[in-house]
Amino acid sequence: MTYTINLKSTAVAIAVALTAALAIAGLGSTRAGALACDDCVSNNDLMSGAVTSAKIAQGTIESGDIRNGTIQTEDLGTASVRKVDIASNSVDKSELGNAVALGNADRADGAVTSDVTLGTTSAGSYQNLAGDLTLEGAAGDDSVFLSPIMGNLHGSTLTPTASGNDYVYHSGVVGAYNVDTSDTAGTKAGVIGLIGSDGSTTGTLANGFTAVIDSGDGSTATVGNAAYGVAYTSPASGTHFNYGLDLYHAAFSDVGGSSLVDYGTADIRLAAGTTISSGSANPSTCVTGSLFLDTDGGADATLRACTATNTWTAVSNE
């Protein structure tokens, strides 16, 4: 019997079989330069469990995602990304959302701390913690508290140690001013409420500070001691506030214009709507029961009372 061998066909068949065997053994290459690909997923990545077959099937991880740092936490297994795996600044604040959770404050200085020292040549605006919240349109329709920063203190039947409770401060927010000797800054305070710090503010007026009684759903009455209170915890002789309420401030000389304190309607408005004000000329309008202190004095009287709507009557000096 005579056999004829087609050498060309046999060579092709052997080459195909050899290529398939190498691919099964993991020694083949799917494309030129694949072994040098920076964004490729290696068998080590698969074995570590960082990239699962389900994720590859879903197409949720692509080389573009790795380069842009947009891999979400749900795409990754536990502890699959270490800090050494993340390039500097590759995680943008928009990727975080609500994914950062802080533990309990197990130290006297809190769960989150920041200690910054600025030199005498430092210029600009600095805050250890800064937050900007920009509201648009009907923002807040389904919300209650809209604020860049909020402090909320919870508790029930609190009983600090009696021997030291006078020095315990419970508060949603604490602002402390501790400057020794002197401070030439124009405005100094433990807490400052600014209006229009980024430019002039028009339209609906806001208060620099507002005390609010909030009873939640209104089913239980809420009683506060005072909208504004004062306490002294220093036993040192001579400790005092110079004024209980200071509505005066000398004009600044370097703000580019007049900065005299001016109250458009009155210095103080009382609960009934009556006012107390002062100046060199009594206001043209008044609510019955209001008082006006004339800083120019005069033969009639320094004190005037609003005895009828828009009618000021001098109070006798006798």
Beta bridge partners of 314: 304
pLDDT band at 312 (very low <50, low <70, confident <90, very high): very high
Specify the residue for token string 């270490």.
82
The whole-chain average pLDDT of the chain stands at 74
pLDDT band at 82 (very low <50, low <70, confident <90, very high): low
Cα torsion through 129, 152, 147, 230, rounded to 10: -90
The top-scoring range by mean pLDDT among 166-175, 193-202, 256-265, 266-275 is 266-275
Q: What is the pLDDT of residue 273?
A: 94
Percent of the chain topping pLDDT 70: 60
Distance CA 80, CA 285 (A): 72
Question: In this predicted model, what pLDDT tens digit does every residue of 98-129 receive, in sequence order?
Answer: 555 555 555 566 667 778 888 777 677 888 88
User: 171 is written with which tokens?
Assistant: 């508060």
Q: What is the pLDDT of residue 197?
A: 74
Domain ranges of the chain: 40-90, 243-318
Contact predicate 42/35, CB 8 Å? no
- Phi first, then psi: give them for residue 287, nearest 5 degrees: -100, 135
pLDDT of residue 75 exceeding 80, the answer is: no
pLDDT of residue 38 exceeding 60, the answer is: no
Helices marked H in 90-177: 93-96
Specify the residue for token string 């349109």.
137
Q: Which H or E run contains 15?
A: helix 7-24
> For 7-23, what is the mean pLDDT?
50
More confident residue, 144 or 132: 132
> For 155-166, what is the mean pLDDT?
81
Identity of residue 7: L
Identify the weakest region by mean pLDDT among 67-76, 171-180, 301-310: 67-76
230: left (phi over 0), alpha (psi -120 to 50) or beta: beta
> For 154-176, what is the mean pLDDT?
85
Q: What is the pLDDT of residue 12?
A: 47
Distance CA 226, CA 230 (A): 9
Distance CA 69, CA 66 (A): 5
